[in-house]
Amino acid sequence: MNISLKGKKALVGGSSKGIGEAIARQLAKSGASVTLMARNEERMRKLVQEMDSSQGQSHHYLVVDFSDFSAFKDTISAFFEHNTIDILVNNTQGPEGGGALEKNVDDYQNAFDLLFKSVVYTTELALEYMQRNQWGRIINVASVSVKEPLSYLALSNTIRAAVVTWAKSLSFDVAQDNITVNSVLTGYFDTDRIAQLNTKKAEKMGILPEEVLSDMEEKVPMKRIGKPAEYGYLATFLASDQAAYITGTNIPIDGGLLKSL
């Protein structure tokens, strides 16, 4: 199967590194013109130069801070005044780890702004062109924790669950416009985010981060954590014409980690 996204334009959140970067690179390899969206301008400028442009694509970047919703809203609104996209990958940095008893109502509000409001607002802006064009792909980077909550990620568990239920609701309303809406439930991947969480967990438990990682790998049936490039392959398939009949789904990519159906 040859996936071609030639002529399509994509906007990928959190794409200066990790999973977002891997998705952006793979979309570009498949022919899409990609706009990166993250905080690190220096890193994005370098990535734009590195990404595949052999099919005549033009790549760009947009500097945003997802943790400041007011500023983000202004920036993304200005972007859509002059741009349209066919593929939207909703992805932001995660909120701070910690259990439910460690968080207060302000923490939940900040996580809501970061993980939910930014996703919904960006999607609303992107949908105008998608509906007019009768084609679109919306892919939400979520987490396996929406099905099996992780005790040390109370904020992420809570708000990402809201994102996937919103996405399911949205999928009903836009399916007739040939727009698909899918959420990817992320397992353990080799990213800076996992490294940071493991370091904090190790400090709390009085062990080495390497021991936390080893325990994490042992819990995965495949006995390893995922490579970001593997995530990019799934996202690119969901962005393609070949995935036109897949919508409203929550797809785990976790090496078999989830025990629930």
pLDDT at residue 174, rounded to an integer: 98
Across residues 92-105, what is the average pLDDT? 92
**pLDDT exceeds cutoff 90 at 144:** yes
Domains of the chain: 9-188+227-253 (3.40.50.720)
> pTM value?
0.96
pLDDT digits (tens, 9 = 90+) for 199-227: 988 888 899 999 999 999 999 999 999 99
Token pair recorded at residue 37: 């969206």
| Contacting residues for 59 by C-beta, under 8 A, at least 6 apart | 28, 33, 34, 35, 36, 48, 51, 53
Band of pLDDT at residue 196, cut at 50, 70 and 90:
confident
> Shortest CA distance to 63 belongs to which of 80, 44, 43, 38?
38
Give the end-to-end CA distance of the chain in Å, rounded to a whole number.
Answer: 28
Query: Reading across the β-sheet that carries 136-143, which strands appear in turn?
Result: 60-63, 33-38, 9-13, 87-90, 136-143, 179-186, 250-253
**pLDDT exceeds cutoff 90 at 138:** yes
Across residues 68-75, what is the average pLDDT? 97
